[in-house]
Structure 1
Amino acid sequence: MHGRTGRRKSSVSQLFVAVLALTMALPASAADGLELKPRPLARKGVVELRRNVEIPRVVVKFHEGTRVRLRGEQLIALRESRGARELGQLSQRGLTGSSVEADMATVASLVAASPYARGLGRMFTADEKQLDTRKFATETLSGQEVADLNLYIEVPIRPGTTFQQVRDLVEKLDALPSVETAYAEPAAEPAAVNWPNFLTPMLLKAGPNLQGEQGYLGAAPTGIDAHYAWTVAGGSGANVKVVDVEGGWRTTHEDMPGLFHQGGAQFNDLGWRNHGTAVLGEIVGVSNGFGVTGIAHAARAGYESIGSQSAASAIANAAVAAGSGGVVLIELHRLGPPNNTPCTCNFGQCDYIAMEYWQAEFDAIVQATLNGVVVVEAAGNGSSNLDDAAYNNAFNRDVRDSGAIVVAAGSSQGRAPMCWTNHGSRPDVHGWGENVVTLGYGDRFNGGSENTYYTASFSGTSSASPIVTGAAASLQGALQARGRFPLSPLALRDVLSSTGSAQAPDARRIGPRPNLRAALNRLGIF
């Protein structure tokens, strides 16, 4: 069943390139003939955050149909480019061309008058034409309306500015009739426990072979049975592209493969580098007789950094690089609104939640998954129940579903929820949230430089999510090795969650732990 679903949906998604080429020559009004499933509107109203949290960016999204664009530092509206559907969208919301332009002028004046704002910028770095054509191609293939990512504008905020200081600006921007949503965006951080504390490197002289310490590779239910998957053609992830979204990597590490894609500017920071290096080590650590061996060590890996772009932009660019059948991993979380779940540990990350809570990231993920790109997303380490009323159904799949695989964290041996893991109905699966042996940090082995750092203590939904990413790449590789199309993101999510090892009994739901042997067998691969 799942194999046939993957074949059918992926064969459709492989038409994307052809459709994209066709749309390059089409005006926006060409979409008027499509019957599309409507896109859920973003929430209105200020998202309340901690008063003293630093805000590097305010996000503004204009309504679909407004055709607002930022050219240089000036907002313009492409009146003549509006098709019948877009004119209808304006009419439904009581908007006119003149009212949209008046709201644009108000946005510009509010930003200019703010002592905290530093002008206007485009939220997504891809050029206008690419975003336009990708939107039309996605809608043509999926039959679903997706967000016009060109309608996102960012307002960079001066360093040190708090939510309390920009709240009034956000409220005024969000109240404008032409604005679908406006919100203050805290900084994204790696979803590693105790970030940014560093482990103390241990200097040893002999190079290690640590594969025997990678318990997550072993048989289910403790591990995901990667060892079994490696006995299956393609089960080590051959011909699958994986792109990690975060902020830094040690690309010259001795156990790191060559990378096919390196997008965005990295943060020049040891903490970010250790984190990204550890993540890729779990997935694609080279099978070479020393160090670690990645779950999908035959996959092609790359990265897209948030050092010079928004996280939403990085997700969109990573999806293009990974392509249909590939995997994007979001190794970030962000401080969300206060909620009603007690936080009893990992106090520095209380209320940190998955990135899809924010509309720009959600819209980027939706476009990726509708194009056949599997997105794996850390649930976050905020000790939060994602079903809490504070999130206003942002994680309720009956209200909106990004198509991503959201990953919680469990104990390495008992599959019990870690004290700090986010939980609820939204997480699909979980991985090891502690004791993960991989590259980076140097607490397990240090040969004298970052290129020889290894750790036995990687943790968080940051350590859990690469395990699931490796499992996803393994399944896609095994299917392709048999001449079958890769699974669609939704079908892959279903296979992983329905064949996994159940979590330990606990009121905090984190989903099962992937079991590659069971998943491969479900797909008819033995």
Structure 2
Amino acid sequence: MIPRIPTLRTTLVVCLLLVLSGIGFSQSTLEIKFRDGERIRLRDGKLKDLGGAGLGGIAAPIRALEAAGATWRRPFSLSESAIENLVDVARQRMPNGSYDLNLVFELHLPPSVDVSATLESLRGSPVIESATLQPEAPRGSVAPDLSSLQSWVGPAGLGSGIQTNWTAPGGRGAGVKALIVDVGWLPAHVDAPPTTFLGAPYDVNNPAYDPHHGTADLALLGAPNDGVGITGVISDATFYLGAASTTTNLFNIANVITLALSNGFGPGDIIALPLEVSYVGSALPIELHGPTRAAIDMATAQGVIVVTAAGNGSVDLSSAPVPGNFAMDSIMAGAGGMPLGSGERQRVPISNWGPPVDVQAQGELVVTAGYGLLYMGVGTQEYYTHLFAGTSAAAMITAGVCGQLQGLLAASGQPPLSPALMRQALVATGSPQITAPGAPVQHIGPRVDAASAYGLLLGASAVISQITPARLSIGVASESLTVQGLGFTASSVVTWNGIPLATTLGTPTQLSAVVPGSLLASSQVVSVAVDNGGGIVSPALPVTVDGPFLGASGQGAGVLRVNGSMGLPDHRVDVSLNTAFSIDVAPISPLFTNTPFAVFGFIGVPNLQDGYSITGISGSMAFAPCPADPLNPNLFTFATTVPLGGCQPAFMASGNPWNVVLGGVPTPLRFTLQGVTVIGTTAIFTNGIIVDVH
């Protein structure tokens, strides 16, 4: 903690206390990640290739390092089989979103070994995905500023609407488990709730050790509602703590997350990571650390809400020199200002910003336990501050709001929100970010509003997140729609350009509706919304009715099938990785028997406005692109019965009807297939099928 020169702001003079945040790099420990698919494990202190490939040609340098005194270590407490189970669950939900933590190892080098030369030799190996200096201990994101009171629980706009929900059943988080991973805690603080510690304690000799930081974070969530000190957002929740760094595991966050998952964390529970990591001199979100990001993805895949801090680097995350990707379903919080500070709902200057940031919460002048100045009783166990700040504070307030909403849902007998729906609820109902006149827009999102979000869940408003299918066929007798979102009630009606459809309530997050054939007679883009009555209508999403999927119910040039299925009602067929599958086209009329035809494919899923445009690309196929559409490199010719100029098909078909059995696809991939034949100058399509290989 470094004292700064007193700063004058409005009429107040305060002493700024700054905790330097960030993570440097160890100069003697490397973090090695072998490529997914390898079977490299640690046995008797040495690396063994269980796949029989002999460590991919790097056995000699690895044995030389071991002979020189280098040692290997797994950075996880769980067994290899337990980690494998977590990886499998994550990959079922997010095929490209998680990598195998069993292939991450720490390599501790003795002083006699040249670190740079070792890194260079390891990075050149085809079996090693990454070799880096291991980050040093995680540090908290603290940046105190001006004083205030406990305004963060107050009404929406200035606060986050938390206090309004405290009187409702579940409004204090009963039944919710909350894990906080942090950099230390004061012993026996009077505003610390009972906690369970996961794993080893924090290394008190680590320079990043800051017991005030963890105490401040814990109190924001769990300070008892007892009339002493402050009151935490979810004081009735069950709390767990985990050390960001220990004496044996310098970067322990991923390990703690996996321990939480093995201790029953699941849907409805919360993990808060009020931490940041330093890369290229910038303080950035902790999820950019590969193993931590993978563990976050594992947690969100199991329905756990994970809230991370955007970091106090004052950088644009869309262009910052970041070393990797962000977690897929975490909720990232930026630091928003207050009237006496940086300006209400404006970005606090230290906060990172950009598209990865989902929401903001109060990030300056936050009253909480620890540090002192506001109140200093007998010993540090009675210290309080009014200067807690930065994205740590914002992340903890956001995590508290998430826990409060899950507690409210549990008390009313409703299922918990998924990570994606929680993010959508917070963004849809938050108080809009404010940008000062003439200032650049630096996105940190809306300020979380617990009261409005709860109103959404009660049906006071409605939001659509997804409509399936979003592309319907012309001329069919009827189509079924599944509408997912928030705020649905028994009074909710799905509307089609304002026309009410026959609607059935499944859950408060899902409706089903039937579109009659009379509304499917022509190509069109339709606005689909949800009307809750009383003038409460959700924002609309588009649904397209067009020709490319003509034939889904038996019209068109023929019936295209994958594994014998047309993929109705949403034109989608799932195929398992490395499993053979069949594709066939059968004519429905003698007119098309032996008619020349082709099956075209698209990498990804065709955009709803243009059948040849691709969105959501998630892989690649080793088929030559077809110049029939030079603007779309993702179009390929899958099969054809006649040569096509310049288009190299993957298969030559013998005629129509036609079928082929393919071997398994080894990588997660999404592609779309559609057959077409030409009679004169008229192209007649089969149905289309989206094939999800995972």
* Range into which the TM-score falls when normalised by the shorter chain: 0.7 to 0.9
1:509 and 2:464 equivalent? Answer: no
- Counting only pairs closer than 5 Å after superposition, residues 85-484 of structure 1 correspond to structure 2 as 97-98=52-53, 100-110=55-65, 113=68, 118-140=70-92, 146-156=98-108, 166-193=115-142, 213-268=149-204, 272-305=210-243, 306-307=245-246, 308-309=248-249, 310-321=252-263, 322-337=265-280, 351-388=282-319, 390-391=321-322, 394-395=325-326, 401-413=327-339, 414-484=344-414
How many residues align structurally? Answer: 422
Contact residue 224 and residue 235 of structure 2 kept, 8 A: yes
Contact residue 191 and residue 381 of structure 1 kept, 8 A: no
Deviation digits for residues 469-505 of structure 1 (CA, Å, limit 9, x no counterpart): 1001001111111111111111111111221111112
1:518 maps to which of 448, 452, 468:
452
User: Identity, % of aligned pairs?
Assistant: 32
Contact residue 268 and residue 416 of structure 2 kept, 8 A: yes
C-alpha displacement of 1:238 = 0.9
Give the alignment's Cα RMSD to 1 decimal. Answer: 2.8
Cα separation, 2, equivalents of 1:63 and 1:150 = 11
Q: Which has the higher contact order (CA 8 A, sep 6+)?
A: 1
Contact residue 234 and residue 400 of structure 2 kept, 8 A: yes
Contact residue 335 and residue 360 of structure 2 kept, 8 A: yes
Cα separation, 1, equivalents of 2:110 and 2:348 = 36
**Residue 108 to residue 518, structure 1, CA distance change in 2 (3 Å):** farther
Structure in which a larger fraction of residues adopt strand = 2
SS at match of 1:132: helix
Contact residue 345 and residue 433 of structure 2 kept, 8 A: yes
- Structure 2 gaps of 5+ residues are 1-21, 461-694
Deviation digits for residues 375-429 of structure 1 (CA, Å, limit 9, x no counterpart): 111111111111116226634xxxxx43111111111331111111111110111
Contact residue 190 and residue 275 of structure 1 kept, 8 A: no
TM-score by length of 1: 0.74
Structure in which a larger fraction of residues adopt helix = 1
SS at match of 1:260: strand
- Kindly provide the amino acid, as one letter, of the partner of residue 406 in structure 1: M
SS at match of 1:463: helix
Structure index of larger Rg: 2
The residue number in structure 1 matching 2:39 is 67
Cα separation, 2, equivalents of 1:459 and 1:56 = 33
C-alpha displacement of 1:365 = 1.0
SS at match of 1:318: helix
Contact residue 431 and residue 468 of structure 1 kept, 8 A: yes
C-alpha displacement of 1:76 = 1.1
C-alpha displacement of 1:261 = 3.8
Cα separation, 1, equivalents of 2:209 and 2:323 = 33
**Residue 328 to residue 78, structure 1, CA distance change in 2 (3 Å):** same
- Kindly provide the amino acid, as one letter, of the partner of residue 268 in structure 1: V
Cα separation, 1, equivalents of 2:110 and 2:143 = 26
More divergent stretch after superposition (241-250 vs 464-473): 241-250
More divergent stretch after superposition (270-279 vs 215-224): 270-279
**Residue 320 to residue 429, structure 1, CA distance change in 2 (3 Å):** farther
- Kindly provide the amino acid, as one letter, of the partner of residue 395 in structure 2: S
- Kindly provide the amino acid, as one letter, of the partner of residue 216 in structure 2: A
C-alpha displacement of 1:104 = 4.6
Cα separation, 1, equivalents of 2:234 and 2:60 = 51
SS at match of 1:255: coil
Cα separation, 2, equivalents of 1:449 and 1:258 = 20
Contact residue 198 and residue 260 of structure 2 kept, 8 A: no
Deviation digits for residues 298-320 of structure 1 (CA, Å, limit 9, x no counterpart): 11111111224333222332344
Cα separation, 1, equivalents of 2:116 and 2:423 = 38
Contact residue 103 and residue 177 of structure 1 kept, 8 A: no
**Residue 427 to residue 375, structure 1, CA distance change in 2 (3 Å):** same
More divergent stretch after superposition (235-244 vs 136-145): 136-145
SS at match of 1:184: strand
Contact residue 333 and residue 361 of structure 2 kept, 8 A: yes
C-alpha displacement of 1:292 = 0.5
Deviation digits for residues 75-133 of structure 1 (CA, Å, limit 9, x no counterpart): 11222xxxxxxxxxxxxxxxxx43535335534434655xxx85211122211121122
**Residue 224 to residue 64, structure 1, CA distance change in 2 (3 Å):** same
Contact residue 73 and residue 105 of structure 2 kept, 8 A: yes
**Residue 174 to residue 435, structure 1, CA distance change in 2 (3 Å):** same
- Kindly provide the amino acid, as one letter, of the partner of residue 126 in structure 1: L
Cα separation, 2, equivalents of 1:54 and 1:60 = 13
TM-score by length of 2: 0.57
